[in-house]
Structure 1
Amino acid sequence: MKKSYIYFITLSHMINDSCQSILPALLPLFIYTYGLTLEQAGLLILANTALSSLLQPLLGYVSDKLSEPRLIALGVLLSACSTGAMGLVDSYPALLVCSTMAGVGSAVFHPEGAKIVNRLAGTNKGKAMGTFAIGGSSGFAIGPIFAAAIAYNIGPSGLVAFTVFGLIWSIVLFFMMPRIVNHANTLQHSLAAKNDLPKRELTNNWKYFGLLFLVILAQSVNFRVMNAFIPIFWIRELGASPEQGSFALTVFFTIGIFTTYIGGILADRFGPARTVKWSLLLWLPAAIIFPHSTSMWMAFPAMFCVGVAKALGYSPVVVLGQSYLAKSIGFASGITFGLSMTIGGLVAPLVGKLADAYGLAHALNVLVPFMAIGAIVAFFLKEPEKEY
């Protein structure tokens, strides 16, 4: 197997998600520049996630009917262009438009990206998804620190650098995809030929996928809201500087670069459902502790545990979704890889409104019931059957 193809798609994932991750890091700048409330800041996150949340399952469904892997290149291009435009606009409504289009880019990229990795994975789907997820974690880690360095030191117009690099990479992707797809087809035919037993008929298990969706909802709400408000929490609740807030966000995502891969390996060895349960048992107490943190010494360990838990469960959730909906892998990918990263943003404006009224620390307590429900539901998930 040409593992380099998986690494190539992983790098594309990093570029795409680095564009997606800059908005929370720049929220303090936008709040200062435009005099935004935290509710308005939350609406920027909502704009980035709402249309994306609706589009990703739809595009995944279309992908199952009419596969078009070159949409991966289009997703990177849209994300990069929207990111650069954020540094050039001069009004809050224009920022809302740019945030929305960045979300569309994410919606276009993730279903096809996860689907082609599944086809390239062979029998090591957990490991392959862990590798692919490293790209997303890396992008979310490096995006805020680069965006903050550019916007706070050079000026917002410097974000055009994201557009230039994204444009170049999307062209490379466009011309590489036919070769990658041909290799994926060859690999699947080879695995089927080597299998002594007939390949099992593909079916969709909507019952267990429905349970998994509740887990995804709980994870996404907690992850996206923390992602949106970590820099502001550092500044307002812990008395840190904007640069320290951006650094905290980078640390939050850097944690996942390594543990995401470990989560994939654990899923292959012990089962993806069991790995998801372990991750949520770590996540729940951290979600309770974080809002009550009164110093960085208290906030960092709680944030670290949330980052580890999210990363450990990331690729196992994708493997479970693609296994439960074996006939509709594109749709499952749109939910597990795409929607799971965006749907939580729908709650961000509510948390922002509560934060304006009662303080951010109190508002973050809203996340705890979501996490508790997710942890309970996870124990009803079953391990998938082996494909070969």
Structure 2
Amino acid sequence: MSVQTMTKTSPPSGQQPLTQPDMSATVYRILIAISLVHLFNDSIQSVIPAIFPILKSSMHLTYTQIGIISFAINFTSSIMQPVVGWFADRKPTPALLPIGMGFTFTGMLLMAFATTYPAVLLAVVFVGLGSAAFHPEGSRVSHMASGTRRGLAQSIFQVGGNAGQSLAPVLTMWIFIPLGLFGSIWFTVVAAAGIAVQIFIARWYGNRLRTGAYQKKKTQARQLRPEVRSRVRFAIVLLVLLVFVRSWYSSSISTFFSFYLMENFHLSVSDAQVYIFLFLAAGAVGTFFGGPLADRFGKRNMIFCSMILAAPLAILLPYANLFWSGVLLAIIGLIVFSSFSVTVVYAQMLFPGKIGTVSGLITGLAFGMGGLGALVLGKWTDIVDITTVMQICSFLPLLGILTYLLPSDKLLNRWSEGTEA
């Protein structure tokens, strides 16, 4: 674990030398800390879809109502994340980190005592607001601590979130199945621990801002040639579309595939959650390795491979038996999520200096559209059946072929340097 390198600046006569952080150094202690909080945040957020089978049976909900809950948490997060990111780009605010986790704490406290459907919706809105406040500033902290290893840093940050998502089915088995919704009270302890870690990170963040070194770096990185702006806009729209497709597919697995397993293989809620855990846990592994692989082989190439290589396996999944369903889910999760962090770094290359806005756009708006997908899927499932919906969704990764309409990594670098239109 590296120690943050410091450089001296020349002080006025009679004063002690001032020190500034070396912006090329990778600050692993901060990356690990923000990844840990990401694990806390996303494990809490992900227990919402994990407990859908419990909510459906205990409150006698329809698939459409389940889709509305998924839409509520994702849409709340998606609308607010770009707003928080835009605000933080103009005025970086370290205090947003513990404040965001405070919203999450409130949401889980409300969930523990929710007895009606509207109360559940209110609780998930608070959890969504907490996620919206955390992700843009968390991504900025990761960028600030990355040094020269941006792909690796973003992977460390994102793997915490995906690991947290993978824990949700297990936590459902251990906590919600025996305790019901009141089990949410235990997640207030997790949120409180997250607040404590966020205070530590916010202090480091504030100190980095006060040195002025990051502000200087950010200002220099904002330069972009006007003649390439229309091509950049096209690229970001296409990237959001690709992330939306990937999110819609992963949402179909994490939100509804447990119902598919229960209906077709007569599994219990607990047994079905094991298969969702395989998908998400393998996804966390893929997220970690995706960043370093993208640093080596290219970000656009990694985004393309993560969808196209998964496509044939996704098409096979609805026709597999129970054993091969588990195997395919693990492999698909490993491949699909390998570009999870890469898309954020790629978007940051498209808009240098707008770390919060871009991160909020990709992790917020685009993934929130996955929540809209869950709403549509829930409605479809009520109209047709869960098997047909899973078969239709299996073709989504094929749209990854659109990735090659994105500019290459080399072209992005030339745009940023102002050497090519």
SS in structure 2 at match of 1:50: helix
Distance 1:367 1:325 in 2: 31
Partner amino acid, structure 1, of 2:91: L
SS in structure 1 at match of 2:51: helix
Gap change, CA 1:185 and 1:365, over 3 Å in 2: farther
By how many angstroms is 1:175 displaced? Answer: 4.6
TM-score, normalised to structure 2, is 0.84
Distance 1:240 1:84 in 2: 31
By how many angstroms is 1:370 displaced? Answer: 4.0
Distance 1:80 1:225 in 2: 27
RMSD (CA atoms) = 2.4
Query: Identity percentage over the alignment?
Result: 27
149-158 or 324-333: which moved more?
A: 149-158
Superposed CA deviations along residues 259-286 of structure 1, whole A, max 9, x for unmatched, are 2111010111111111111111122223
Q: 1:247 aligns with which of 270, 274, 290?
A: 274
Gap change, CA 1:232 and 1:80, over 3 Å in 2: farther
Q: 1:343 aligns with which of 369, 372, 394?
A: 369
Q: Which residue of 1 aligns with 2:28?
A: 3
Q: Which residue of 1 aligns with 2:246?
A: 219
Q: Which residue of 1 aligns with 2:287?
A: 260
Q: Which residue of 1 aligns with 2:314?
A: 287
Gap change, CA 1:274 and 1:186, over 3 Å in 2: farther
Matched, 1:333 2:354: no
Distance 1:385 1:256 in 2: 29
SS in structure 1 at match of 2:265: coil
86-95 or 9-18: which moved more?
A: 86-95
TM-score, normalised to structure 1, is 0.91
1:12-91 mapped onto 2 (5 Å cutoff) = 12-91=37-116
SS in structure 2 at match of 1:379: helix
Distance 1:85 1:348 in 2: 23
Distance 2:245 2:341 in 1: 16
C-alpha contact (below 8 Å) 1:116/1:181 kept by paired residues: no
Superposed CA deviations along residues 264-311 of structure 1, whole A, max 9, x for unmatched, are 101111111111111111222233222333x22232233223311232
77-86 or 26-35: which moved more?
A: 77-86
Q: Which residue of 1 aligns with 2:387?
A: 361
C-alpha contact (below 8 Å) 1:71/1:108 kept by paired residues: yes
Gap change, CA 1:282 and 1:6, over 3 Å in 2: same
Distance 2:332 2:39 in 1: 21
By how many angstroms is 1:257 displaced? Answer: 2.4
Q: Which residue of 2 aligns with 1:107?
A: 132
SS in structure 1 at match of 2:92: coil
Q: Which residue of 2 aligns with 1:371?
A: 397
Partner amino acid, structure 2, of 1:33: S
Q: Which residue of 1 aligns with 2:193?
A: 168
Distance 1:66 1:190 in 2: 11
C-alpha contact (below 8 Å) 1:16/1:75 kept by paired residues: no
Q: Which blocks of at least 5 consecutive residues in structure 2 are unaligned?
A: 5-26
Q: Which residue of 2 aligns with 1:125?
A: 150
Gap change, CA 1:212 and 1:174, over 3 Å in 2: same
C-alpha contact (below 8 Å) 2:222/2:354 kept by paired residues: no
Matched, 1:202 2:223: yes
C-alpha contact (below 8 Å) 1:50/1:342 kept by paired residues: yes
By how many angstroms is 1:66 displaced? Answer: 1.3
Superposed CA deviations along residues 206-244 of structure 1, whole A, max 9, x for unmatched, are 232122111111111111222111221221122111101
Distance 2:315 2:306 in 1: 15
Q: Which residue of 1 aligns with 2:16?
A: none
Q: 2:339 aligns with which of 301, 313, 330?
A: 313
Gap change, CA 1:190 and 1:172, over 3 Å in 2: closer
C-alpha contact (below 8 Å) 2:221/2:353 kept by paired residues: no
Distance 1:187 1:323 in 2: 22
Distance 2:312 2:160 in 1: 27
Q: Which residue of 1 aligns with 2:304?
A: 277
Partner amino acid, structure 1, of 2:223: L
Partner amino acid, structure 2, of 1:241: S
1:110-189 mapped onto 2 (5 Å cutoff) = 110-183=135-208
Superposed CA deviations along residues 65-109 of structure 1, whole A, max 9, x for unmatched, are 111122122222222331342232111111111122211111111
364-373 or 240-249: which moved more?
A: 364-373
Q: Which blocks of at least 5 consecutive residues in structure 1 are unaligned?
A: 193-198
Matched, 1:385 2:421: no
SS in structure 1 at match of 2:369: helix
